[in-house]
Amino acid sequence: MELHNLIDAGDWELLFQSSAYQKLSRSGRIVMLRRALENKERELVRAYAGIITANTAKAKDFHDKKIKPLWEYQDFLDRCMMFYETGEDDPGKAPRELEKLLE
């Protein structure tokens, strides 16, 4: 699958299978991964809006398990970009789910 299709679809977990993604610099991979996460988040927030009106308990579980981790991943990637830009505030260890994508 082409890189831009994976990003547009929010298929962030499959990016490492793209040869175009693998050829990017580390900062390029961070930017592309961040864009894919944003697209996935947008998709999940739309689904969440439908769930919350039907079942608030299920909505909280959906939020905590599906949406919140994406926010945490995006925050980590933002810290990575700031580190590369300024050399300050090391972002720390990547979340396990992102390690393979940032190698």
Tell me the CB-side half-sphere exposure of residue 71, using CA atoms within 13 A. 8
- Secondary structure letter of residue 87 according to DSSP: S
Residue 84: band (very low, low, confident or very high) from pLDDT cuts 50, 70, 90:
confident
Domain range list for the chain: 3-102
Asked whether the CA dihedral 66, 43, 32, 101 is positive or negative, the reply is positive
- Whether pTM > 0.75 for this model: the answer is yes
**Residue 8 in contact with residue 39, Cβ under 8 Å?**
yes
What is the full DSSP assignment across 13-25?
GGGGG-HHHHHS-
Task: Quote the CA–CA distance of 39 and 44 in Å, as a whole number.
Answer: 9
> 23-59: per-residue pLDDT in tens?
999 899 999 999 999 999 999 999 999 898 888 889 9
CA distance 100 to 15: 10
Average model confidence (pLDDT) across the chain: 90
